[in-house]
Structure 1
Amino acid sequence: MEEQAGAGPRPPGPKRRAVAPDKRTRQPTEVRRRLILEAAVPLVTEHGAGGVGLRDIARAAGVSVGTVTYHFGGVREIISEAVSIEIDGYYRPLGERMLSRPTAVEGLEVLVEGVFNPETDRHWRLWFDTWASVSAPVPDSRQHRRYEDWSDRVAELIRRGRESGEFSCEDVEETAVRCAALVDGLALRRLRGAPPLAIDQARSHLRRFLTSELGLKPAADPVR
C-alpha cells in the first residue's frame, strides 16, 4: 500500500513470530476424541450404524474429516468406542442407584424401572442396530468389561437379598445371567414392535421372572 501524501514512513511494528506448536491453545487429545464420540452416538441412533460416514461425524462434531481420521482409524472404531461409552453411561449410574437402596427388594425395583423406561429406548436402539448392521464391529474388551461389571452388580444385589433373607436363590450367578438374557430379549421385542410390547408389559414380564426366580411371594411382592 502506498504511503499517504505528506505522511512520513510508518515506524516498524513489532515483529510477529510464529507460535510454536507446543505453545498453541488446543484441546487435549482425549477431549477431542470424546467430542467426536459424543457426536457419533445420536447419528447412529437416528440413521443406523450403516448410514453414518466420517463426514457426517466430522460435521456433527464441528471438526474436519482430517481431525477425525487423525484420532480414529475409521467409522467402525468410532462406533465401537461410542457404544462402549453409551453402555458405561447407561449401566454405571443404574447400578449405583440399585445398590444404594436400603433393601434388596427396593434395589430390584430400581433395576426393573431402570432397564425399561421412555429414556432407555435410545440405548437399546443404538446397541441392537450396531449389532445388526453389516458394518458393526465385533464387541471389544471394553464393551465386554462393562457388561461384566453390570452383571456383577446384579449378582451383588441378589447376593445381598439372599444374605438378608429377602431372596431365596440357589445360584446367584446363573440367576444374574438369566435376568440379563430376559432383559435383552424383551428390549429387542419392544424395539421390533411385532407384536407391540409396552414398557409396562416389559416390566411386568421381568417382575414375574424375578418373583419366581428369587422366591418372592406374588401376593406381597414389593416389586410388583
Structure 2
Amino acid sequence: MAPHHPEDVRMTAARPPRRAVAAAERTRQPTEVRRRLIVEAAVPLIAERGYASVGVRDVAAAAGVSVGTVTYHFGSVQEVLTEAMVLHIERYYAALSEAAERAGDAAEALRLLVDALFTEDTDRHWRMWFDYWNAGDQDPDQGFTRGQAQRYGTWHQQIRSLAQWGVDEGEFTCDDLDGFTVRFAALADGLALQRLRQSPPLTTQDARRHLNRLIETELRLM
C-alpha cells in the first residue's frame, strides 16, 4: 500500500470556499467506505472507455477524490479496476439469478436466463466481460487469473443448478449435465462476441434462439 500522500491532507483546505466539496471529502470516512466509493466510480469508466484506457487520474476525478487518496487505498490502478469488474460481474449475475428465481419451473427459468443474457442493454456487460478477460491474459499475476476462474466457475454452477432442477423435477432428461453446462456457457460467450463485432450480423433475438435451441436439443422434455 502506498504511503499517505501529502496532497490528501491539503486538498480540502486548498479549495475555494464556494466550490462544491465531494461527499467523500466532507467527512473522514472508514477505509472500506472510501474504497467502495472509488471502486463504484470506476465501473462506468470501464464501460465507457474500456479496461485498458482508464488511469488513476480518471478514477480519482470520477470519485471526487485526489490521486493520493486512490494510491493510499489501492496498490495500483489495476487493483481498482479489478475490484470494479468483480463488483459489476457479481451484480450482473445476481440479477440473472433473480430473473431465474421468478420462474415456476426449470424450463421457464432457463428461458428467462437466456432472455436476460441478451438484451440491447447487455452489450455493455459483454464488452466489459471481454475486456476483463483480455486484461487477465496480459497480466502475469496468478491471483488475477484465479479470480477470473472462480467467477467463471460460479457462472457454470448457476447454469448447471437450473438444469439439475429440471431433471430432479422430472421436467426433462439429460445424460451429461456437465457437458451441457460447458456448451451453454461457451455458446453464450461466442454469441456475445459475435453480437459485439456484428461479423456476421447477429440480433439479440437470434442469439436467444440459438441458445434456446441448445437447451431444447440437450435437455429433452419429458
The TM-score range, normalised by the shorter chain, is 0.7 to 0.9
Q: Counterpart of 1:82 in structure 2: which amino acid? A: A
Map 1:33-52 to 2 at 5 A: 33-52=35-54
Aligned to 2:191: 186
Aligned residue-pair number:
194
User: Aligned with 1:195: secondary structure?
Assistant: coil
CA–CA separation in structure 2 for the residues paired with 1:144 and 1:32? 28
CA–CA separation in structure 2 for the residues paired with 1:167 and 1:40? 43
Task: Please say which of residues 147-156 and 105-114 is displaced more in the overlay.
Answer: 147-156
Shift of residue 67, structure 1, vs aligned partner: 0.5
Identify if the C-alpha distance between structure 1 residues 97 and 134 changes in structure 2 by more than 3 Å, giving closer, same or farther: closer
> Conserved in 2, the CA contact under 8 Å of 1:95 and 1:150?
no
Aligned to 2:152: 147
Q: Counterpart of 1:168 in structure 2: which amino acid? A: T
Aligned to 1:177: 182
Identify if the C-alpha distance between structure 1 residues 134 and 84 changes in structure 2 by more than 3 Å, giving closer, same or farther: closer
Aligned to 2:7: none
From 204, 207, 213, the counterpart of 2:209: 204
Q: Counterpart of 1:46 in structure 2: which amino acid? A: E
CA–CA separation in structure 2 for the residues paired with 1:68 and 1:107? 41
**Superimposed CA distance per residue, residues 113-143 of structure 1 (whole angstroms, 9 cap, x where no aligned partner):** 1111122111111111233359964644444
CA–CA separation in structure 2 for the residues paired with 1:51 and 1:95? 31
Aligned to 1:116: 118
Instruction: List gaps (5 residues or longer) in structure 2.
Output: 1-25
User: Aligned with 1:197: secondary structure?
Assistant: coil
Identify if the C-alpha distance between structure 1 residues 151 and 133 changes in structure 2 by more than 3 Å, giving closer, same or farther: closer
CA–CA separation in structure 2 for the residues paired with 1:151 and 1:131? 16
Aligned to 2:79: 77
Shift of residue 209, structure 1, vs aligned partner: 0.9
Structure with greater Cα Rg: 1
Question: Structure 1 segments of 4 or more deviating over 4 A?
Answer: 133-138
Q: Which has the higher helix share?
A: 2
Instruction: Kindly report the root-mean-square deviation, in angstroms, between the aligned alpha carbons of the 2 structures.
Output: 2.1
TM-score of the superposed pair, with normalisation by structure 1: 0.79
Shift of residue 25, structure 1, vs aligned partner: 4.1
CA–CA separation in structure 2 for the residues paired with 1:124 and 1:136? 19
Q: Counterpart of 2:64 in structure 1: which amino acid? A: G
> Conserved in 1, the CA contact under 8 Å of 2:174 and 2:219?
yes
Q: Counterpart of 2:120 in structure 1: which amino acid? A: P
Map 1:5-84 to 2 at 5 A: 25-84=27-86
**Superimposed CA distance per residue, residues 16-51 of structure 1 (whole angstroms, 9 cap, x where no aligned partner):** xxxxxxxx9422212211111111121122112221
- Alignment identity in percent? 52
Shift of residue 180, structure 1, vs aligned partner: 0.7
CA–CA separation in structure 2 for the residues paired with 1:44 and 1:93? 20
> Conserved in 2, the CA contact under 8 Å of 1:87 and 1:143?
no
Instruction: List gaps (5 residues or longer) in structure 1.
Output: 1-23, 218-224
**Superimposed CA distance per residue, residues 91-110 of structure 1 (whole angstroms, 9 cap, x where no aligned partner):** 12312331342111110111
